[in-house]
Structure 1
């Protein structure tokens, strides 16, 4: 496999060239991720997809790229700043990786803007308009001015940029507009900055049909005289900031919850990693922003006329079913219906595999709700990695705890960008009497497991759910995942040992069916592969997993 040409050139040009050839078996992790996001953008270009679904893919590519800079690029920037002598698997230093990443990321952002331009034309043809400043006129202009004065003006807080008013803090993903003005009374030059709060809708929809939208920054520039009476507007430009959002866990952290609460606050004020400027920004305004926000670490780019491609998801909500994929109604597993909706009876009769999203995630919720309300259930143990903001799973666990059942929840605080929501759920669960555990400091608890212990006659039976996806009711309708339900006693014992390992560091012994990473999963997989090699060489069927 040949190394990409741009990496070879960078290795030759770098002040610290690569001494030994890296292992050509490896792709660069970060460039591989950018290649993945390129494929997401390609979905936005696919004419076989409905128009608003293509717009959704473009928005997703924007969200992905934001998070990539906030975490991966931020980490490399930190290594570079601290002179960390660490190379990637393919042999590149942090500086070499950053050079290649910035080149490819800039190309991706150019592609995003080009795709947005193409989709905008198609949206116009479909009767869904995103108006430019020069297209707002007549009755629309009157309505928008009234809307601006009544609904937007009270929220905005212009801030002068002068010695008496230090440059304000711009929050992560913050979109702002900077103005170059002249006060008419004395011809005094003035610069003003207006931050657009996250709570404001990015696109304002005009009443009536056809659907017409105006971006909030377009309105701000259009009605600047309302915001700055007595001033002449010489220039105005949008800019956007991405900050370091990576969080490293310190081994000596005594209280993981308190550590994360403080870390989340610090993350909001992390160093600027990327400063995105509107294309064509006047040099005088660009100089101010670069001086105040650029610093030695920031990556500065002119990123087109629509900053924050992620916000296009607001347009996808337009009620145009003709421009979206046909709605899909997932099926509920027939076998549970055959048992009158009794999940336990159906699982006890035979293991069940459910294929999401083609089969509904509601079956998982039904399993947990039945466990919460069944008087014979004595204990529930549950992992939570990303549960989202919808409280269905959380409510089931709270109901169970309030009914007197023993409920344990393993809440992973290190789920990227869900840390704060997970802390909210953990607090709600603890108030209801759930035993909340936060897992390991060094590892993320990525397992998706529910364990239910039920009294049946004179004995107890364990029911388990294992999933490849999160216990997240929204993403479960989108992502392709598998759910496995079983009442197998050996699997139940393994699951119980897994929970004991997480909650009490009790090392599992004699695991029969379940392998845990990083403890023994790799070893067991390699053993099984070797078995199949032996089977194949002996002329036996390979793939059975039998020794």
Structure 2
């Protein structure tokens, strides 16, 4: 071969290597932009005329609430990176500054669409349904008189107008606050001045009129609180002429940054961080109406330290997160039809079977430990199965059972009136050994968890706060029980928090078992969490950051090998987010080898499916509906010796590297089939499922002309009732 041919061949090999570089940025979607597409799918439920009216308002509110947190955490973090001069590229090849620009370009049109849709579509539909959200100028005199009295009695005492002049510096604008920028003129000097009035959160955002003032067969009638304040500003500035007023809203950096290694007391450090959050960090977003004059807009931007790219102009009302209030209206015909979760028959006593569903709230009943011991593992699927008669009963019975010696569990998020925590306190008072890991770094739940931690400690519960540098996200509980002369360990390993409220809204899975190997693994895991342990191996569990990444990568590589040997390779994985570049590159390798891969990813997906020669054997769907998909299921065909796992971890760097997570294999054949059936139902969804395209867009599935509509969530509701 000639030197020329050698050089040409080497060049071809180089080109081939470049094509096969599976870490090339062109094969990855941006994490933040992918999250925006998820939030747009939430907004699409509000845009969809098939969704009941009040539920459409709810989804618009969720879209806004999601954005608030996105700005408080993600945008704030990117801005900090820009200020610090960080130039490290993301796996998709973007700098922090480029990400901020691209986010703005994509998000601005979404926000415009949301507000226009509310003003032009939803608000008129509300009026047609008898829900009249009026503007103050449309009120008659009798209604105005009532609201003036309401203002004087309920609103005026709460308000604090703040002037801006040489003697009064620009006031601090609190995070997520709705405000009025007011311009007043002194009639004696003709001098104009600026003032700020905060719309108080302690009062209802939408002020209802009394029924005797309703018109046109109304179901509800009222006005926004800021308009009530705006039309009574004379009371706040007596003797001054009100020139104009304009609402605006501010979002601040809401993350808590901790130097854990330097914190002698994590509890005290978190409390200090919470105080800073209440005040708020730097402003990261200004929302205002498009009618605001340039002079006031410029003043706000200057005083808040913002650029044009930080300002979001909208049509109509600000803070649509408050639309959630309308879901409280007693109008069932405008909401999703009610349905009732069903307790798995194995966990119902005979009395409950006779009286279901009226008895499904009780926390006593059938001996849950005897059922698990005598008949094997139990799978619970929330909210299709009630939290109260499954997981809550598991803990409550353990607290009262004289044969139970100890209870250990992790608490990441729980409700403000948690029956789980009350059961743990009761267990400690009953003389049992109770150890609880309370994760103080659960974002936006820190204060709640601090309160519970203190109550638990006062009751004699052993409380620990986790490991330095790691967030404990796993959802596990273990009950140690004396049975004759034997000690038996019962476990719950789940995908969701021990929170009875979110358990009615989030789809989650849990395994109840007394398998000895799982009990031994959880014993080792709790020792790792509460004491000094460098446990590096587990019998069955996949534990992050110890062995989970390696075990998942080995399972993917095993499917690749089956294909290379002429067999079948198959992976189905359901999770909240897929971000980890190492896992994604392994999935690309699997696709190239012929492994058929279906991914059900609710939110962020950085994997680019359908690329010829790279990911053409990978399909990705996202399901967004009435319930928030939160469960994680991982299926590997394994040459016919199928493996199925459930647990708390997504395929994200934070879950695999920086959190304590737990995923368990499911070995009961019937439960394996149940989980595979759940995956199959979701993959066939043509109502709530969206398919990810190679360009990053999502297309919502619609039934073909000869197809029935298949909503996976509705099907699972129906199946739960038929058990």
Paired position in structure 1 for 2:172 = 169
Say if 2:284 and 2:306, in contact at 8 Å, map to a contact too. no
Could you say which residue in structure 2 is the equivalent of 1:256?
266
Aligned residues: 526
Q: Does 1:193 align with 2:203?
A: no
What is the distance in 2 between the residues matched to 1:146 and 1:388? Answer: 37
Matched, 1:291 2:331: no
Equivalences for 1:34-113 in 2 at 5 Å? 34-113=36-115
Q: Distance in 1 between matches of 2:140 and 2:183?
A: 24
Q: Secondary structure at the match of 2:373?
A: helix
Matches within 5 A, 1:75-224: 75-117=77-119, 118-208=121-211, 209=214, 210=218, 211-224=220-233
Distance change (3 Å), C-alpha of 1:539 and 1:165: closer
- Report what 1:469 is aligned to: 496
Q: In 2, Cα distance between the equivalents of 1:162 and 1:441?
A: 48
Q: Which residue of 1 aligns with 2:326?
A: 315
Decide which moves more: 373-382 or 54-63.
373-382
Whole-Å Cα distance in 2 between the matches of residues 450 and 312 of structure 1?
A: 37
Q: Is the 8 A contact 2:537 2:547 kept in 1?
A: no
Summarize the Cα distance change of 1:87–1:309 in structure 2 as closer, same or farther, 3 Å threshold.
same
2:116/2:315 contact within 8 Å kept: no
Compared CA separation, residues 300 and 532, structure 1 to 2 (3 A): closer
For normalisation by structure 1, the TM-score amounts to 0.92
In structure 2, the partner of 1:345 is 370
Instruction: Look up the SS of the partner of 1:100 in the other structure.
Output: helix
CA distance in 2, matches of 1:95, 1:398: 49
- Identify if the C-alpha distance between structure 1 residues 375 and 297 changes in structure 2 by more than 3 Å, giving closer, same or farther: farther
Superposed displacement of residue 534, structure 1? 5.0
SS at structure 2 position matched to 1:190: strand
Cα shift readout 1:251-275 (whole Å, capped 9, x = no counterpart): 3222211111111112233111111
Asked if the contact 1:272/1:297 (under 8 Å) is kept, the reply is: no
Residues 463 and 311 from structure 1, CA distance in 2 versus in 1: closer, same or farther, beyond 3 angstroms? same
* Residue in structure 2 matching 1:357, options 377, 383, 386: 383
| Alpha-carbon separation, structure 1, partners of 2:113 and 2:454 | 43
How far, CA to CA, are the matches of 2:537 and 2:188 in structure 1? 85
Partner SS for 1:381: strand
Alpha-carbon separation, structure 2, partners of 1:438 and 1:257: 8
Q: Counterparts of 1:239 and 1:88 in 2: how far apart (Å)?
A: 34
Classify 1:192/1:139 alpha carbon distance in 2 versus 1 (closer, same or farther; 3 Å).
same
1:434-445 superposed matches below 5 A: 434-445=461-472
Report if the CA contact (8 A) 1:273-1:298 is conserved.
no
Pair 1:469–1:543, CA change in 2 (3 A): farther
> Are the counterparts in 2 of residues 390 and 473 from structure 1 also a CA contact under 8 Å?
no
- 1:176 shift after superposition: 0.8
CA distance in 2, matches of 1:138, 1:284: 34
Range 259-268 or range 372-381, more displaced: 259-268
Asked whether the equivalents of residues 356 and 480 of structure 1 are also in contact (C-alpha less than 8 Å), the reply is yes
Shift of 1:194: 0.7
Unaligned runs of 5+ in 2: 1-22, 351-364, 569-636, 644-723
Assess if the C-alpha contact under 8 Å between 1:455 and 1:461 holds in 2.
Answer: yes
**Secondary structure of residue in 2 paired with 1:154:** helix
Q: How far does residue 147 in structure 1 lie from its aligned partner after superposition?
A: 0.7
User: Which position in structure 2 is the counterpart of 1:390?
Assistant: 417
Task: Give the C-alpha shift of residue 518 in structure 1.
Answer: 2.0
Q: CA contact under 8 A between 2:536 and 2:546: conserved in structure 1?
A: no
CA-to-partner distance for each residue in 1:420-473, whole Å, 9 max, x for gaps?
A: 111111111111111111112322111100101011111211111111111111
Which stretch of structure 1 is more off in the superposition, 528-537 or 144-153?
Answer: 528-537
Contact 1:532 1:545 in 2 (8 A): no
Deviation at 1:315, TM superposition (A): 1.7
Kindly indicate whether the alpha-carbon contact (under 8 Å) linking 1:176 and 1:238 is maintained by their aligned counterparts in 2.
yes
TM-score between both structures, scaled by the size of structure 2: 0.70
Against the structure 1 CA distance between its residues 85 and 535, is the aligned structure 2 distance closer, same or farther, given a 3 Å change threshold? closer
Flag the 1:56–1:379 CA change in 2: closer, same or farther, 3 A: same
- Cα distance in 2 for partners of 1:56, 1:254 equals 43
Say which SS state the counterpart of residue 460 (structure 1) adopts: strand
Determine whether 1:267 maps to 2:277: yes
Residue 237 of structure 1 corresponds to: 246
Q: Which residue of 2 aligns with 1:493?
A: 520
**Residue of structure 1 equivalent to 2:509:** 482
> 1:408 — aligned with what?
435
1:5 paired residue number: none
* Partners of 1:379 and 1:452 within 8 A in 2: yes
Within 1, Cα distance between the matches of 2:204 and 2:305?
27
Report deviation, 1:153. 0.7
RMSD over aligned Cα atoms: 1.9
**CA distance 1:213–1:505, shift in 2 (3 Å):** farther
Distance 1:140 1:361 in 2: 46
1:272 and 1:298 in contact (8 A); partners too: no
